[in-house]
């Protein structure tokens, strides 16, 4: 069973998904970050493939990506690092990047390398549904990978249903129409949007991302769906003390989880 | 006969499409659903035509360049887009898109710009229609195109510097896309070239198609035949070329010449000659030819011309070049500068640096004395006087 499916079958609430950019702050940070995240209690890890032109990401993630590329990160290096990380942990790993990266690597070769490295899922925000169905769906299904699609406040109910049908992976609920690293408060308007998605009663697990930055926003997000994704806030934390990646990672995750654990025991 | 119309998903052959994150889907989908209907509306047509005539100053002349013709040994006609209001072809598109934005009820306009011509053309139509205007421009371009920055500010636009990456057109485009993601409801993004996700390449090409529409009847009037033997246009993203080719795309009597910027030389590592250096991939939402590494990282291009300094080309051009319908020629910085000086002194016309590349291509082309060649004179060179002055003062002329 895919580690993602297993995770959601065993745990349907308070799922903590942490995003980081592979190769930041240093080329060899990937394995220690994954290990520390898993040890500290992250349920799911999203590994960003650094990209020169990350259309859907904010400045924090773009800057970390530029640094990672300067550090020499490539997909070949990243697959080696993920293979190594997989020897140490069973935490579900999802790769996030842009379709051009997959296209240049070769879709089939990419999917095979991801599976061999112990990757469980993919997020490619600029891969359109039609092209996914035509060029990619069979490949990822054969490899046992799950693909996650994004939905936003502008996504119509019909389209959300189509997205849910085209993939068994978790749905990435973009918390507001904004790029990553934005606002830290969840507004009434956002709550209304979450209610609308909840009312669709989709079978897929749902995680909220964008604008989730601390224990409080994580807790609020978890009231609505299965969990939440934190990215830019973690990247910023890593940037504050680049020499102590493991300690920073552990204390960041504890800072999110400990208050949550104490308040969600109802 | 090759098929140069896009299919329903926005592909020219295998180039095009809309590779965009979900955050942009609603806006792009709204445009895709409505642009053809809105453009076909008689009231839209009336307003568009009237503004092109009385505000832009169309039709732009098709001028027989006597001295250039004698020099090159062919009949050379210049399509004078430099005489449009704001000094370039860019305004054909911004007039069209501002009318669409109004019909969509948008209150805020964003744009990217390289040379600043599209930024000025956008700031102009926003002033005309009383809409807020924000133009993203690479920091490097802000420096080398100072006169256009001043014009945009004069027109009430806010010029926001793009500080990421190479700090040129590609990065300005990324910033504009981000702005649109953050402001999906009240904002329309006026893309300045035939790039970006479907329907932009087709929509912009249709607005620029006025160039070849006029060329047809102007040639008919002058020569009694409505087509040339060749059309020469510079290609960054490729909007003036798309407009100059548009009504001849399926007329194989007409050679289509796409002129790219070679920068310091195609193999110098400092170039923007996408058709030679590029491979198939995705840039700014479109599947096309682009300059990239093996790993799909987009490469920073280089050209002295801020309008050609772009690592991709529009999907229409990728299709035309790939199917050998169009021929690509690349021109270095030095050859473009020399051509600008030559045209200025032969015809009394100072072309934009972008356009100067198209003129320089005449040296590389083969043609006979009776051949009719239309050069799309896409813009005037006032904005490039600093570069021209430096060239005049340099040793290159010795």
CATH code (residue A219): 3.20.20.70
In a mutational test of the A interface, the residue from B296, B300, B310, B312 whose CB has the highest number of chain A CBs within 10 Å is: B296
In a mutational test of the A interface, the residue from B9, B15, B18, B22 whose CB has the highest number of chain A CBs within 10 Å is: B22
Residue A152 inside a domain? The answer is yes
Q: How far away is chain B from the Cα of A259, in angstroms, using its nearest Cα?
A: 31
Question: Out of A14, A43, A57, A146, which one is annotated catalytic?
Answer: A57
From the DSSP assignment, how many helices (H) and strands (E) are in chain B?
A: 16, 14
Residue A7 inside a domain? The answer is no
Half-sphere exposure of residue A132: CA atoms within 13 angstroms, side-chain side: 23
B178·A151 Cβ contact <8 A: no
A178·B27 Cβ contact <8 A: no
Give yes or no for a contact between A26 and A81, defined as CB atoms under 8 angstroms apart: no
pLDDT per residue rounded down to tens, chain B (398 residues)? 456 788 999 999 999 999 999 999 999 999 999 999 999 999 999 999 999 999 999 999 999 999 999 999 999 999 999 999 999 999 999 999 999 999 999 999 999 998 899 999 999 999 999 999 999 999 989 988 889 999 999 999 999 999 887 788 888 999 999 999 989 889 999 999 999 999 999 999 999 999 999 999 999 999 999 999 999 999 999 999 999 999 999 999 999 999 999 999 999 999 999 999 999 999 999 999 999 999 999 998 999 998 898 999 999 999 999 999 999 999 999 999 999 999 999 999 999 999 999 999 999 999 999 999 999 999 999 999 999 999 999 866 65
Range list of β-strands (E), A22-166: 44-48, 93-96, 121-123, 146-148, 150-151
Residues of B with CB under 8 A from a CB of A: 9, 17-23, 25-27, 164-165, 170, 174, 177-178, 181-185, 279-285, 292, 294-298
Residue A189 inside a domain? The answer is yes
In a mutational test of the A interface, the residue from B184, B282, B299, B300 whose CB has the highest number of chain A CBs within 10 Å is: B282
**Residues on chain A touching B170 (C-beta within 8 angstroms):** 53
Helix (H) or strand (E) run with residue B333 in it? helix B333-347
Residue A95 inside a domain? The answer is yes
Over chain A (266 residues), the average pLDDT of each successive run of 10 is 92 97 98 98 98 91 95 98 98 98 98 98 94 93 95 94 90 75 66 91 93 88 93 96 95 89 48
The residue of chain B nearest to residue A172, with distances taken between CA atoms, is: B22
3-class state of residue B108 by DSSP:
strand
- Provide CB contacts within 8 A for B79, sequence distance 6+: B60, B62, B211, B214, B215, B244, B374, B375, B376, B377
**Residues on chain B touching A197 (C-beta within 8 angstroms):** none
pLDDT of residue B201: 98
Residue A1 inside a domain? The answer is no
Query: For the whole model, what pTM was predicted?
Result: 0.95
Question: Out of A28, A39, A43, A46, which one is annotated catalytic?
Answer: A46
Residue A115 inside a domain? The answer is yes
B282·A131 Cβ contact <8 A: no
pLDDT of residue A207: 96
B9·A130 Cβ contact <8 A: yes
Q: What residues of B are labeled active site?
A: 90, 112, 378
- What whole-number distance in Å separates Cα of residue A157 and Cα of residue A82? 36
A131·B184 Cβ contact <8 A: no
- What whole-number distance in Å separates Cα of residue B324 and Cα of residue A79? 39
Q: Which domain holds residue A94?
A: 13-260
pLDDT of residue A265: 42
- What whole-number distance in Å separates Cα of residue A29 and Cα of residue A77? 12
**Residues on chain B touching A135 (C-beta within 8 angstroms):** none
**Residues on chain A touching B182 (C-beta within 8 angstroms):** 177-179, 182
Q: Structural domain tally of chain A? A: 1
CB pairs under 8 A between A and B: 108
**Residues on chain A touching B33 (C-beta within 8 angstroms):** none
Residue A53 inside a domain? The answer is yes
Of B22, B185, B292, the CB nearest to A174: B22
- From residue B109, give the alpha-carbon distance in Å to each of A252, B135, B348, B383: 40, 8, 36, 23
**Residues on chain A touching B26 (C-beta within 8 angstroms):** 152, 154-156
pLDDT tens profile B81-136: 999 999 999 999 999 999 999 999 999 999 999 889 999 999 999 999 999 999 99
Q: How far away is chain B from the Cα of A193, in angstroms, using its nearest Cα?
A: 14
Residue A8 inside a domain? The answer is no
**Residues on chain A touching B164 (C-beta within 8 angstroms):** 59, 62-63, 66
Strand-pairing partners, residue B158, are: B134
pLDDT tens profile A147-163: 999 999 999 999 999 99
Q: How far away is chain B from the Cα of A40, in angstroms, using its nearest Cα?
A: 31
């Amino acid at each position: 069973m895919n580690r993602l499916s297993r995770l959601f079958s065993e745990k349907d609430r308070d799922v903590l998904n942490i995003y980081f950019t592979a190769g930041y702050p240093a080329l060899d940070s990937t394995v220690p970050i994954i290990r520390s995240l898993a040890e500290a209690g992250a349920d799911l890890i999203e590994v960003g493939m650094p990209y020169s032109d990350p259309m859907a990401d904010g400045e924090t993630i773009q800057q970390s990506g530029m640094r990672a590329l300067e550090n020499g990160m490539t997909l070949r290096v990243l697959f080696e690092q993920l293979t190594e990380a997989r020897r140490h942990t069973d935490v579900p790993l999802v790769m996030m990047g842009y379709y051009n990266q997959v296209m240049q690597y070769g879709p089939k070769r990419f999917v095979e390398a991801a599976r061999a490295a112990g990757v469980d899922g993919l997020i490619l925000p600029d891969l359109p549904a039609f092209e996914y169905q035509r060029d990619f769906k069979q490949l990822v299904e054969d490899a046992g990978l799950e693909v996650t699609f994004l939905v936003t406040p502008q996504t119509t109910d019909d389209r959300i249903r189509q997205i849910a049908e085209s993939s068994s992976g978790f749905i990435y609920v973009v918390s507001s129409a904004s790029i990553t690293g934005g606002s830290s408060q969840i507004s009434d308007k956002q709550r209304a949007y979450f209610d609308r998605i909840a009312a669709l009663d989709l079978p897929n697990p749902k995680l909220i991302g964008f604008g989730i930055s601390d224990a409080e926003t994580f807790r609020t997000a978890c009231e609505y769906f299965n969990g939440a994704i934190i990215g830019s806030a973690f990247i910023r934390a890593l940037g504050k003390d680049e020499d102590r990646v493991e300690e920073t990672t552990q204390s960041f995750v504890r800072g999110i989880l400990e208050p949550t654990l104490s308040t969600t025991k109802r | 006969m090759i098929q140069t119309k896009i299919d329903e998903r926005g592909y020219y052959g295998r180039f095009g499409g809309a590779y965009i994150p979900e955050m942009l889907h609603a806006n792009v989908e709204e445009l895709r659903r409505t642009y053809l209907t809105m453009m076909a509306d008689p009231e839209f047509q009336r307003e568009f035509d009237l503004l092109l005539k009385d505000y832009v100053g169309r039709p732009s002349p098709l001028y027989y360049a006597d001295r250039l013709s004698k020099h090159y040994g062919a009949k050379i006609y210049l399509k004078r887009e430099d005489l449009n209001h704001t000094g370039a072809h860019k305004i054909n598109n911004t007039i069209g898109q501002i009318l669409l934005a109004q019909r969509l009820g948008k209150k805020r306009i964003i744009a990217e710009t390289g040379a600043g011509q599209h930024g000025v053309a956008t700031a102009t139509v926003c002033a005309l229609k009383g809409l807020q205007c924000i133009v993203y421009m690479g920091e490097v371009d802000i420096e080398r195109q100072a006169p256009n920055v001043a014009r945009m500010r004069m027109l009430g636009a806010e010029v926001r510097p793009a500080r990421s990456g190479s700090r040129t057109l590609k990065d300005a485009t990324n910033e504009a896309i981000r702005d649109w993601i953050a402001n999906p409801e009240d904002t329309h993004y006026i893309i300045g070239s035939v790039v970006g996700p479907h329907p932009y390449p087709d929509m912009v090409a249709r607005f620029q198609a006025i160039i070849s529409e006029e060329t047809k009847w102007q040639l008919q009037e002058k020569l009694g035949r409505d087509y040339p033997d060749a059309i020469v246009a510079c290609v960054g993203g490729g909007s003036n070329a798309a407009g100059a080719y548009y009504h001849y795309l399926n007329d194989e009597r007409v050679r289509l010449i796409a002129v790219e910027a070679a920068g310091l030389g195609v193999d110098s590592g400092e170039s923007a000659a996408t058709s030679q250096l590029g491979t198939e991939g995705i840039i700014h939402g479109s599947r096309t030819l682009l300059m990239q590494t093996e790993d799909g990282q987009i490469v920073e291009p280089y050209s002295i011309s801020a309008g050609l300094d772009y690592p991709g080309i529009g999907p229409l051009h990728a299709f035309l070049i790939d199917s050998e319908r169009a021929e690509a020629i690349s021109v270095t910085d030095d050859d473009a500068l020399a051509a600008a000086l030559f045209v200025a002194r032969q015809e009394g016309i100072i072309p934009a640096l972008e356009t100067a590349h198209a003129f320089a291509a005449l040296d590389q082309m083969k043609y006979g004395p009776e051949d009719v060649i239309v050069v799309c004179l896409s813009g005037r060179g006032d904005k490039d006087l600093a570069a021209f002055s430096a060239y005049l003062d340099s040793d290159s002329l010795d």
